[in-house]
Amino acid sequence: MKKSVLILLNYLAFHGFVSYSQETPRCSVPALETQRIKNDRQYLKQKSQFESDLKIYSKLSSKEEIPDSLIVKIPIVVHILYKNETANISDAQINAQIDILNEDFRKKANSKGFNNNSVGGDMKIEFFLAQKDPSGNPTKGITRTAINKVFDITNDISEISQIIRWDENKYLNIWVTSLSGTQLGYGVFPYDSNLEGIESSKARLDAQKNFDGVLIDYRFFGKTVSKNYGFGRTATHEVGHWLGLLHTNADERCGNDFCNDTPEITDLNQASDCNDKFSDCKENGRVTRNMIENYMDYSPDFCMNTFTIDQVKRVRSVLNLSRTRKNIVTQFNTLSEAEKLVSTISPNPVTNKFSVKVLFKGNENLSLTLYNFSGNIIDDKSFSNLRSQEFDYDSSQLQNGIYFMKIQTSKETTIQKILINH
């Protein structure tokens, strides 16, 4: 499960390149997890409890506070900590990374983040550079700080976040800097659980308070000259950890990543190509193909294009369980209120997808019912105690024709006519 990156040559201006070995880890999560276990005796028990709670929560009904159909928008602040101008990467490189995250987390058609995998899922999470800083002033969502150090992930995490950080309850902090050693990045798990009865040790809470976000070496952020890791998937991988996803083998032979639709594997992909890799993890000796295209493997960037449906469910559960993650979602995904119920369909006419924006006053119980022209119910959703929201619908499997959407609160009802024309 160790994937690796060995930097052989210096980063040459305009024509530099980076090459890799297969003996060092791509991601620093396993090493830091080992260190935390050593420092916190309560940690293993609490991590197991967190995983158990995730499994329970993912089975709950549509009363989840953040509906699965809601497209969640997460603001990012990118902190550039640069020792020299080469590490002071351009706005264009940063914007390219945001685009890649959105391609991957939305399984965007006609992009490298799209897949035809039968278990491939759309996270319905979109990222954008923050438009306001913590004081409410306009911002590009990028900070730049000159430093005189190359950081070591294992020992310097707290120091990095002390240099600059924005409120982790309002932003996803991503630090981009020069890292020593061979790791490309690190993403903090959402250890804080939103369920009652889940206790966190002081050491565990302090660790997340000291550093909560994602750290990436500047050479692998956005589109770069790196042959294997120059397509922005290091950030996709580490943000996956930040949203609660484990490596597909959970950092042990045939380990459980708590996603049933990712095959059990002996180890992560250490190759520098996309050739098939196979594992034997079943008692009957059945050999299965590894999902090397999964973002939570260690494959080269150009192999990756898949989050699975169960990984989507796990992340959507985390958005409700983790206080910090949920705070970000509710902070930046609340639409304006309306004195009377207002609903809009966009786009309309519809091809393969459409959204329903619903505005109303305060908190309401809400139902969305889609009918075909004959009056038969095609889809029916109910939610409790919601504020104004926007919902995403996949209409790719519906026949062309006229449909009606009934939007109903406890007080009011509206009906929207929808034309589907693929």
- List active site positions: 238
Cβ atoms within 10 Å of 146's Cβ, excluding its own:
12
Beta strands 172-177 and 214-217, pairing class? parallel
CA distance 398 to 388: 27
**Residue 396 to residue 398: CA distance in whole angstroms:** 6
Say if residues 341 and 359 touch (Cβ distance below 8 Å). yes
Tokens standing for residue 23: 């003996």
Element at 53 (helix H, strand E): helix 43-57
CB atoms within 10 A of CB 298: 27
- Rounded CA gap, 237 and 200, in Å? 25
Decide: helix, strand or coil at residue 73: strand
CA angle 418, 117, 287 (to 5 degrees): 155
- Which phi and psi (to 5°) does residue 30 adopt? -60, -45
Number of H helices, E strands in the chain: 8, 15
- 309: region left, alpha or beta (phi > 0 left; psi from -120 to 50 alpha): alpha
| Cβ atoms of 391 and 69 closer than 8 Å | yes
- The CA–CA distances, whole Å, from 257 to 186, 250, 264, 317, 367 equal 18, 5, 8, 15, 34
State how beta strands 364-372 and 377-386 pair: antiparallel
CA–CA separation, 184 vs 388, rounded Å?
Answer: 40
Note if the bond before 349 is cis, omega within 30 degrees: yes
Return d(Cα 241, Cα 232) in angstroms, integer: 15
**What is the four-CA torsion angle of 142, 148, 150, 154, rounded to 10 degrees?**
-90
Instruction: For residues 72 and 126, give the distance between their C-alpha atoms in angstroms, rounded to a whole number.
Output: 6
CA distance 292 to 171: 31
Given the structure tokens 């770069």, which residue do they identify?
A: 224
